[in-house]
Structure formats: structure tokens, C-alpha cells
């Protein structure tokens, strides 16, 4: 069985990709970065989601000699010219402080009315092979930013993005509802035929 590495320590992402590949009829030995604890995390020095995803996928493929998948994602706010973008996880200055990031963004948008609060979550998913072959796909979830957070099911900016066609935020959706429309779900589903093409 072909082993495929997902360059993440997030168990939820591994479960999600495993389910999507299984639905696509792909029987692969999918493992996360924890299977290779000696390999250090890669600095995300790219200026786009795609560049960061490729950096992580190539680093893991080179280090292990195995095919690797990686993703990078964030929130792009139209009125902010696409920011926070690749800086989504550290918008407030501290990496991974969801509340501080959310509070800062809401403060920055406080005077912006609903018609101009459009935004989207973006996710780039990359597959890299040890020989340097690479493919990238991107998924998006468009919506509008609420003025106040709502819901407890999500993380990051989920409590303020209301997806188009919905009356609740991403954090008010069930995990199954969110996975069906999420940017990462779309990217991973689009990556499945690429995995089939390159790995059989």
C-alpha cells in the first residue's frame, strides 16, 4: 500500500483527508507529521497560501522519500485587500491566539456596513512527490462577516463568517455541515483525483 504523508499534526485534518480519499476509492496508508517526529516543522515563508502549502509538502517529501500533501489556509477580507490572508493565524501578533485575532479584525471593521463585509476562507492543498513533481488546488468558502461572534463549533474566524446561502456562522454549523462546504473540504476533494492520477 502506498504511504501518503499529510504534513500536519492536526488529527482532525488527517481524519478529514482520509475520509475524502476513501470516498474517492483511494486505499492509501495516510499518516501525519507525527509519524516522523525527527523532521522539524517548516517555516512558512511563502507570500501565498499555495507557496506555503508547497513548501511544507516538498520538505516532507524530500525528508521521507514519500509523497506528501500539505495545506495552508486563512481568511481574506475584501475591504482589507485580501488581508489577513497568510497572516490569519498571527494577525494580532501572537501565532494561534484566536480570540485576539478575532477581536482585532472586528475592531478594524467596526465602521464597515454589512454590504462591504464580504470575505472568503481560502485553502491551498499541495501534493509533492520526491522527484519534485507538484500540484496545487485551491478551495474557497465565500460569505459575509458578522459584527459579533456566534457559535462554538468552529475555531479561528469561524464565529464571524456567515457563508453565502446560510443564516448562521461557520461556528454554528455542525462539523458535517461545515465539512460539506468548507474551503479545506473543497480543496481536499479537488486534490483526490490528482492523487489518483499521480499515485494510482
Catalytic residue selected from 23, 27, 34, 72: 72
| Residue 36 assigned to a binding site | no
| Residue 72 assigned to a binding site | yes
| Residue 88 assigned to a binding site | no
Question: How many C-alpha atoms does 184 have within 13 Å on its Cβ side?
Answer: 23
| Residue 29 assigned to a binding site | no
| Residue 158 assigned to a binding site | yes
| Residue 8 assigned to a binding site | yes
| Residue 155 assigned to a binding site | yes
3-state DSSP call for residue 1? coil
Q: What is the DSSP string of 105-149?
A: HHHHTTT--GGG-EEEEEEEEEEE-TTS-EEEEEEEEEEEE-SS-
What value does the CA radius of gyration of the chain take, rounded to a whole number of Å?
17
Pairing of strands 68-77, 29-32: unpaired
Residue 97 is among the residues annotated as catalytic for this protein: no
**Catalytic positions, please?**
72
Binding residues for substrate: 8-13, 73, 155-158, 178, 183-184
Binding residues: 8-13, 72-73, 155-158, 178, 183-184
Binding residues for Mg(2+): 72
Amino acid at each position: 500500500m502506498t504511504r501518503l504523508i499529510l504534513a500536519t499534526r492536526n488529527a482532525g485534518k488527517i481524519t478529514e483527508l482520509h475520509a475524502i480519499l476513501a470516498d474517492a476509492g483511494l486505499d492509501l496508508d495516510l499518516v501525519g507529521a507525527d509519524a516522523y517526529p525527527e523532521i522539524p516543522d517548516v517555516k512558512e515563508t511563502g507570500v501565498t497560501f499555495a507557496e506555503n502549502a508547497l513548501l511544507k509538502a516538498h520538505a516532507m517529501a524530500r525528508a521521507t522519500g514519500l509523497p506528501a500533501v500539505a495545506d495552508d489556509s486563512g481568511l481574506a477580507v475584501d475591504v482589507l485587500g485580501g488581508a489577513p490572508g497568510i497572516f490569519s493565524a498571527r494577525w494580532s501578533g501572537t501565532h494561534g491566539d484566536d480570540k485576539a485575532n478575532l477581536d482585532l479584525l472586528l475592531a478594524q471593521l467596526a465602521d464597515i456596513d454589512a454590504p462591504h463585509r464580504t470575505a472568503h476562507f481560502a485553502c491551498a492543498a499541495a501534493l509533492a512527490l520526491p522527484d519534485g513533481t507538484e500540484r496545487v488546488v485551491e478551495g474557497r468558502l465565500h460569505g459575509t462577516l458578522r459584527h459579533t461572534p456566534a457559535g462554538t463549533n468552529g475555531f479561528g474566524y469561524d464565529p464571524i463568517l456567515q457563508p453565502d446561502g446560510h443564516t448562521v456562522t461557520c461556528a454554528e454549523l455542525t462539523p458535517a455541515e461545515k465539512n460539506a462546504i468548507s474551503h479545506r473540504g473543497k480543496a481536499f476533494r479537488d486534490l483526490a483525483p490528482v492523487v489518483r492520477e499521480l499515485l494510482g
